[in-house]
A and B are shown apart, each in its own frame.
Chain A
Amino acid sequence: MSSSNSGNVGIVIVSHSHKIAEGAADMVRQMVGDAVPLAWTGGDIDGGLGTNVAGILEAIETAWSPAGVAILVDLGGAETNSEMAVEMLAEDRRGRVVVCNAPVVEGAVIAATESSGGSPLAAVKRSAEEFYA
């Protein structure tokens, strides 16, 4: 978990693997810098491979920005648990959190690059999703 104070769109990384989530976050910090709120979560509540809604909610809270939060996920449960976490957010925040259809590592770096330039949430999502365009 790490964060940074700024008005830029926050980035949340959700992987089944704690190590992948942490490593992807390291890449974002080293390549893009500190201008973007960033948080990551990986693994189930017992420390095994998986994802958990509570961890995702906590990560969204850590990376929260008034400009919103873009979530990058790896497989299946990471996506459905992220969607569940978004549904559990307060109503005024729910509309400002999106799950991106992009590869988790590359998407996180690109989304953060876009965010670091002050782009709005829709542009951050669109840029990350260019990988599949």
Chain B
Amino acid sequence: MHDANASRAAGNSLPLQASAVLVNRVGLHARPSVKLTQCAKRFAAKIELALDPDGPWTDAKSPVKVMRVKAPQGATLHLRVAGPDGEAALAAMLALVNDGFGEA
């Protein structure tokens, strides 16, 4: 059991990457940025976002940095996650973006 946990943790610490389109009307402005960083902070994993799959990457746990990205509606948000709870973190982040941050 100990071994199983260790290998799962090691397997999940490879960076995971995924993308989602910003569907909410205002894009990644103040309120969605706050929700995104709050979501990211629930996880231990390192979570970064970018408008281009080649970066530059922004720390998704920093509300100031996330707001500075100024991602508009329709932009594709790339997420890169690394850490033992990375899979759950990526799923939660994607769900939040796909849900339009609850504001459509």
Contact = CB atoms under 8 A, between A and B. Distances in A.
A26 interface: no
B41 A110 contact: no
Query: Could you tell me the dominant secondary structure of chain B's interface residues?
Result: helix
Contacts of B37: 113, 117
Contacts, number: 33
B42 A110 contact: no
B8 interface: no
Nearest to B41: A117
Interface string B17-58: 000000000000011001001100110000000000000000
Contacts of A130: 62, 64-65
Contact of B34 (A32, A118, A119): A32
Contacts of A131: 64
19 contacts: A30-B31, A109-B30, A109-B63, A110-B63, A113-B37, A113-B63, A114-B63, A116-B38, A117-B37, A117-B41, A117-B42, A117-B61, A118-B41, A127-B62, A127-B64, A130-B64, A130-B65, A131-B64, A133-B64
